A and B are shown apart, each in its own frame.
Chain A
Amino acid sequence: MVYRKQVKIKGQLYWYLFHTFRDKDKFIKKAKYIGRNLPSNINQIEKEFLKEVKFGKITKLMVSKEDKLVESLHPLERRVIPYLGLDVKDIVKKAELSEVEILRALQWLENKEVVTLKKESKEIIRLLKNGEEYKKRGLPETKFLKVLDKPRTMKWMMEKSGLDKDELHFSLGLLKKKGLIELGSEIKRLKKENFKDIEEFLKSLPKNFEDLNDKEKKIMEELKQRKEIIEVDLKKGVEVSVTPLGKELMKKNLDVNLIENLTPNLLAKGSWKSKKFRRYDVSLNVPKIYPGKRHFVNQAVDYAKRIWMDMGFEEMDGQIINTSFWNFDALFQPQDHPARDMQDSIFLDKKEEIKEKEMMKKVKEMHETGGKISKGWQYDWDEEKAKKLVMRTHTTVLSAQTLAKLKEKRGKFFAIGRNFRNEAVDWSHGFEFNQTEGIVVDPDANFRHLLGYLKEFIKKMGFPKARFRPAYFPYTEPSIEIDVFHPTRKTWIELGGAGIFRPEMVVPLLGENVPVLAWGLGLGRIIMDYYDIHDIRELYKNDIKQLREMKTWLR
């Protein structure tokens, strides 16, 4: 029932129309604004309001399940439904659809609980070319025996039997094997026996394998060995049974004119207004498509980069192949250090002049005598060794080169890049690996800041719990080994090293002893952990399925 009521809004009274009705177990209240005064045609407005409520959105809630189903039927389903209950073969004929289309429609109908499908596969024995022939005219061996009324020569048989050469030879072999004939100058029949069973079997084909008795199965096996007689066909079929809902549906008029595709024509003419859209089953799985995608390792690298940038770091860039001077000597790594052995690092059979002569002199002095600040390594530094080219073993090269170019003795820098080691490849080792490098050059920098930057980075990479242990690197002091705690595996994972560059390294490059916080962290383990990869080789394997389906880096 519609009723009028005044409602107070901001101190003013306004007229409204209300209508309350029941939908299943809910009460629904509808309202319509009228104004400060009741117009004269208020009765007319009341009637229209009632109509709106009844035939508007609300009525749609009342559509029956079957009707809704009718609206959601795909054109293919629509064409198949009238013939439900028939064999698929017959539906093909009646509905004028291909078998594939019908099977697809049946599958959808099963999802809608209109039919239930029982998939069955049958082995059917059917005749091949020779089989058809023998079914009609008898087996060659029967013919052979028929003409062999008394011992005959081979030549006679050839002329009179009516069998071709192949058939003749075959029959001869078969009959001899079965002990029915004897070969000599003449062919002689030994036993009276015929092949009625086989011929009857042929006449009974095609037949289900299931329906064969033991004797028939034996015959079948024998015939299978022979040329072009029979074949066992695997026939996949479906048995369709119509559910009560399906039966209900078959009574309905399916010939409702529903919109399949919203065409420009429909839009232009506005004819869609008088029609209904076919309803889709929105819960249905869709065929997979594959997006263009960032390589999953690069996604992680991008993220790591973001973290450094967010903390105000500037990106460093540089060459992979450097002189040993930059990779080792400038880092105060003595020339007899084991990392400089052939078996540890990837060298090239080539030397390059060290262009920075002044700097080289200072580095040499630092190695030999420690300049005036240190004891140095106490050996004769060899320029030739420093000229040897090597694929960088750590991104620390970039840090050293950055220090050497730095005009103002201050700055925060990072790099993420590939490094190389002469290591055999297996599940946990690679010769090429990603490392993130960082330095903070600041006269006021200290050890606690180093731990602060590291902790922040590691936390953002997904490991809130980190541990710092004393370690050793030739170019840092104090040195740190960084472990992170793996929350599910409950173990510590080594991430890499860090420290404050030794004065022996900083002074020749920068000109004075300014604290330089530095780190080189492996990203491989974090990446492998995030993507649940257990073999390091997968990082660069480029398995297209893996690339397509790998989850997105969401940190």
Chain B
Amino acid sequence: MPTVNLNKTEFEDLVGKKLPLEELKDRISMLGTDLEKIEGNEIEVEIFPNRPDMLSEQGFARAFSSFIGVKGGLRKYNVRKSNYEVKIEKSVKGIRPETACAVVKNLKLDDDKIKSIIQIQEKLHVSYGRNRKKVAIGIYPLEKIKFPIRYLAEDPKRIEFKPLEMTTVLNGKEILEKHPVGRDYKHLLEKEDKFPIFRDANESILSMPPIINSDDVGKVSADTKEVFVECSGFDYETLSKCLNFIVTALNDIGGEIYEVKVDGKESPDLTPEEMKFDLGYCNKILGLELKENEVKGLLEKMGYDYVKGKVLIPAYRADILHQIDLVEDIAIAYGYENFKEEIPNVSTVAKESERRKLNRKISEVLMGLGLLECNSFSLSNEDNLNKKMQITTKLMKVESPVNQDYNTLRDRILPNLMEILSENKRYEYPHNLFEIGKIFEGVKDKDSLGVVITGNFTELKQVLDVLFRSLNLEYMVEETEHRSFISGRCGRISAKGKDLGVIGELSPDVLENWGLEIAFSGLELDIERLFDIIRT
């Protein structure tokens, strides 16, 4: 999850209050963010994905300031009128069709502030922007740009400019091949015939989103006082929200926001959204009896305004889909620590899953016989499942596994038990083991029992016999051939005419494959089917 790094001094400046360290730590946690660390002047906080507005130092400080009661209620953000215009041309429609833009003036930047602007951009790219796929952000020094700006797509070979961090002019294709950022995000453009660009009235290329800005006209420095901001992507609502996160943050450090007409649309839109609020619903969900004025106070602590049954939601909030989201913020403002826990005095009847119950009963019988229960992974590999067991069943593999040793769904328990035997040779015998666990038949899972004992066929069949007698079920073992077992010492287990599994003395080849030097017998029993037999 994304984190935001805060400079403690700047943060306290923005918040307008200095808290003792312990209180600061506690309040950060109780605001619904996860404190990673505080070291000297550096604070690192994990921001949950529903609050991208808190991914900037300014946004986080704003929320925190309200929360601790320094400056509550809805913040006003003015958007000043202007004649700035951005035109979206048809050529970009099928590629990356939308953009939301703004201009911010009167910025007093220094190295720290520039660092914090770069942070906003990077964090939003990764999280809210889904690695630039959904949103890509560009910020440019206004003085180098001449409006109107065109957003269009061109043949990559004709897109020629000097990208950031480079000293030479490259074309669109070359940027994807040679520029480090180009290589990282190549997959977002390489399938297109044309690449999107912003061109200003001087025909200078500002950037090639979502890859990189121009080094000539797209580089913000400490001397920059005014900036042009654009977010490009596919869905205007998403882009518009993202733009709001940025311009409100810039406003919080003293900037003034100016509108840009994008194809005639006024951007950004910072009017607060209204949502109806039902106090009864809120109290019912939270189990509280809050009064209207109390709720008003709590909402203000979370940066909202409340007017007669309506909540005004700041334009930088992207996570308010339903009233329930307001209810949660009220709960946070109220303080999770202040809720009185309660178990309702209503009786209900407990019920154990019948299948789980049978598993437990079988375990009890086997433990009574002195067998040790094991517990292994449901994923294994072909070598263990097939090769070492001398068989060739069709196995189901998983896609793109990180662990190559665990890339196949197990279709039996027995190979896992063999693995356990082979890894525990140094311990005193006998090793009498069993496991009840999930195995897979295709992609469907079912319960299966595996047993291995240091002993011969008769000894293991005695175990099986005890099990079936405990279940009050008649069973049969008929001779069969199975490559994991010694021929003539292997049987198919069945009850009521249904196949249930196999039992036998493990073949010397199999023992050798597992590096075992003494004899074992093993069985595998389909408990799912056994359950069905017992139930009918």
* Given A292-B370, A292-B372: A347 and B32 interface contact (C-beta under 8 Å): no
Is B445 among interface residues, defined by CB-CB distance under 8 A?
yes
A292 is contacted by which of B287, B322, B371 (Cβ under 8 Å)?
A: B371
- Is A472's CB under 8 angstroms from B438's CB? no
> Looking at chain A's contact residues, is the secondary structure mostly helix, strand, loop, or mixed?
mixed
Kindly state the interface size class of chain B when it binds its partner: 35 or more
Contact A477 B328, beta carbon cutoff 8 Å: yes
Residue B374 at the chain A interface, CB threshold 8 Å: yes
Residue from the list B322, B350, B355, B367 in contact with A503, Cβ < 8 A: B322
Judge whether B237 is part of the interface by a CB distance below 8 angstroms.
yes
B373 at the interface (CB under 8 A from A): yes
B279 to chain A, nearest CB (A): 14
CB distance from A90 to the nearest CB of B (A): 35
**Chain A: minimal CB distance from B132 (Å):** 13
Residues of the B chain whose Cβ atoms lie less than 8 Å from the Cβ of A377? 321
Quick check: which of A142-150, A168-176, A198-206, A421-429 contacts chain B, the rest being far away?
Answer: A421-429
Whether a CB of chain A sits under 8 angstroms from the CB of B89 is: no
B424 and A543 form a contact (CB under 8 A) = yes
Contact B363 A479 (CB under 8 A): no
Q: How far is the CA of A312 from the CA of B134 in the complex (A)?
A: 46
- B134 and A336 contacting across the interface, CB-CB below 8 Å: yes
Cα–Cα, bound, A293→B371 (Å): 7
A376 close to chain B: CB less than 8 A:
yes
Interface: A315 (CB within 8 A) = yes
Whether B440 lies near A321 (C-beta < 8 A) is yes
Which of chain A's residues have a CB closer than 8 A to the CB of B402? Answer: 343, 422-424, 431
A449 contacts B342, C-beta separation under 8 Å: yes
Question: B238–A468 contact, CB under 8 A?
Answer: no
Complex contact A295–B374 (CB within 8 A): yes
Check if A312 sits within 8 Å of B349, measured CB to CB: yes
Whether A348 sits at the interface, judged by CB under 8 Å, is yes
Pair A422/B343 contact, Cβ less than 8 Å: no
Contacts of B347 in A (CB 8 A): 312
Q: Which residues of A contact B375 (CB under 8 A)?
A: 295, 297-298, 539-540, 542
Q: With a CB–CB cut-off of 8 A, which chain B residues contact A449?
A: 287, 342-344
* A376 touching B321, Cβ below 8 Å: yes
Chain A CB count within 10 A is highest, among B322, B325, B355, B423, for: B322
CA distance A331 to B378 in the complex (A): 25
A339-362 CB contacts (< 8 Å) to partner B: 342-343, 346-350, 352
Which B residues, 349 to 373, have Cβ-Cβ distances below 8 Å to chain A?
349-353, 355-356, 360, 363, 366-373
Inter-chain contacts of B39 with A (CB < 8 A): none
Expressed in whole angstroms, the Cα–Cα distance for A312 and B288 within the complex equals: 25
Residues of A contacting B368 in the complex (Cβ-Cβ under 8 angstroms)? 292
Are B287 and A350 interface neighbours, CB within 8 A?
Answer: no
Does the CB pair B49–A504 fall under 8 Å? no
Given contacts A542-B420, A544-B427, is CB(A317)–CB(B353) below 8 Å? yes
Which partner residue on chain B sits nearest A370 by CB separation? B321
Given contacts A293-B367, A308-B350, contact A469 B399 (CB under 8 A): no
Q: List A contacts of B337 (CB < 8 A).
A: 467-468
The answer to whether B348 and A319 have CB atoms under 8 Å apart is: no
A523 within 8 A of B: no
B406 within 8 A of A: yes
- What A residues does B378 contact at CB under 8 A? 320, 418, 432
Chain A nearest CB from B289 CB (Å) reads 11
Q: How far is the CA of A418 from the CA of B260 in the complex (A)?
A: 53
Q: A500-B285, A543-B424 are in contact. Are A313 and B399 (CB under 8 A)?
A: no
B428 nearest in chain A by CB position = A290
The CA of A311 and the CA of B349, in the complex, are separated in Å by 9
List of A residues within 8 angstroms of B428 by Cβ: 290
Interface-located stretch among A19-27, A30-38, A452-460: A452-460
User: Quick check: B427 and A313 within 8 Å, CB to CB?
Assistant: no
B350 in contact with A314 (CB, 8 Å)? yes
Binary flags per residue of B226-240, CB closer than 8 Å to A gives 1, else 0: 000000000101100
- The answer for the CA separation of A501 and B11 in the assembled complex, in Å, is 34
Q: Cα distance A319–B445 when bound, in Å?
A: 6
CB of B336 within 8 A of CB of A469, answer yes
Would B350 and A431 count as touching, CB distance under 8 A? Answer: no
Residues in chain B near residue A310, CB distance under 8 A? 350
Which of B328, B379, B396 gathers most chain A CB within 10 Å? Answer: B328
- B271 contacts partner chain A, Cβ-Cβ < 8 Å: no
Q: Is B331 an interface residue (CB 8 A)?
A: yes
Interface check B393, CB cutoff 8 A: no
Give, as a whole number of angstroms, the nearest-CB distance from B400 to chain A. Answer: 5
Q: Are B351 and A315 in contact (CB under 8 A)?
A: yes
**A479 / chain B contacts, CB cutoff of 8 Å:** 328
- Pick the residue among A308, A422, A467 that contacts B401 (CB under 8 A): A422
- Chain A residues positioned under 8 Å from B535 (CB to CB): none
Residues of A with C-beta under 8 A to B433:
542, 544
Docked complex Cα distance between A328 and B346 (Å):
32
Q: Is A189 an interface residue (CB 8 A)?
A: no
Q: Which residue of chain A is the closest to B373 with respect to CB atoms?
A: A295
Q: Say if the beta carbon of A446 comes within 8 Å of chain B.
A: yes
Number of A residues contacting the other chain (C-beta, 8 Å)? Answer: 90
A residues in contact with B473, CB < 8 Å: none
State which residues 306-335 of B face A: CB under 8 Å. 320-322, 324-325, 327-328, 331-332
Q: Mark A49-87, 1 if CB is under 8 A from B, else 0.
A: 000000000000000000000000000000000000000
* Cα separation A346 to B379 with both chains bound (whole Å): 11
Report if B376 contacts A (CB, 8 A): yes
Interface string of A400-412 (1 = CB under 8 A from B): 0000000000011
- The A-contacting residues of B in range 455-492, CB under 8 angstroms, are none
- Residues of the B chain whose Cβ atoms lie less than 8 Å from the Cβ of A468: 336-337, 339
**Least distance between B221 CB and chain A CB atoms (Å):** 34
CB <8 Å contact, B285 and A346 = no
Contact check, B235 vs A379: say whether CB atoms are below 8 A apart.
yes
In the bound assembly, the distance between CA atoms of A388 and B366 in angstroms comes to: 39
CB contact between B284 and one of A302, A320, A446 (< 8 Å): that residue: A446
Please give me the residue from chain A that is nearest to B359 by CB atom: A298
Chain B residues whose CB sits within 8 angstroms of the CB of A448 once the complex forms: 286-288, 339-342
From 26 to 69 in chain B, residues with beta carbon under 8 angstroms from any chain A beta carbon are: 29-32, 34, 48-51
Question: Closest CB of chain A to B337's CB: distance in Å?
Answer: 7
By a CB distance below 8 angstroms, the chain B residues around A375 are 320-322
Asked whether, in the complex, the Cβ of B235 is within 8 Å of the Cβ of A455, the reply is: no
In this assembly, does A330 line the interface, its C-beta being within 8 Å of a C-beta of chain B? Answer: no
Query: Taking CB as reference atom, which chain B residue is nearest A469?
Result: B29
Query: For the complex, is A156 an interface residue (Cβ under 8 Å from B)?
Result: no
- With contact pairs A292-B366, A424-B403, A469-B32 given, residues A540 and B348 touching in the complex (Cβ less than 8 Å): no
A547:B374 contact, CB within 8 angstroms: yes
In contact, B372 and A547 (Cβ under 8 angstroms): yes
- Nearest chain-B residue to A410 (Cβ)? B348
Q: How far is the CB of A504 from chain B (nearest CB, A)?
A: 7
1/0 contact string of A373-391 vs chain B (CB within 8 Å): 1111111000000000101
Interface residues of A in 203-217 (CB under 8 A from B): none
Is B443's CB within 8 Å of the partner chain A? yes
Bound complex: CA A327 to CA B29 (Å): 29
Tell me, yes or no, whether A515 is within 8 Å of chain B by CB.
Answer: yes
Q: Is A277 an interface residue (CB 8 A)?
A: no
| Other-chain contact of B325, A373, A467, A477, A481 (Cβ < 8 Å) | A477
Let me know if A447 is at the binding interface, CB within 8 A. yes
Return the chain A residue nearest B437 by Cβ: A418
* Contact residues in A for B285 (Cβ distance below 8 Å): 446-447, 478, 500, 515
Q: Complex formed: what's the CA distance from A515 to B284 in Å?
A: 9
Query: B residues within 8 Å of A by Cβ?
Result: 29-32, 34, 48-51, 130, 133-134, 235, 237-238, 284-288, 320-322, 324-325, 327-328, 331-332, 336-337, 339-344, 346-353, 355-356, 360, 363, 366-379, 396-403, 406, 420, 423-424, 427-428, 431-433, 438, 440, 443-445
Ordered nearest first, which 9 A-B pairs have the shortest CB separation? A470-B32, A446-B287, A472-B48, A312-B348, A448-B287, A478-B328, A292-B367, A309-B350, A315-B353
Could you list 13 examples of A-B contacts with CB < 8 Å?
A309-B351, A317-B355, A320-B438, A336-B130, A338-B49, A338-B130, A346-B399, A422-B400, A422-B401, A448-B341, A452-B341, A478-B285, A544-B424
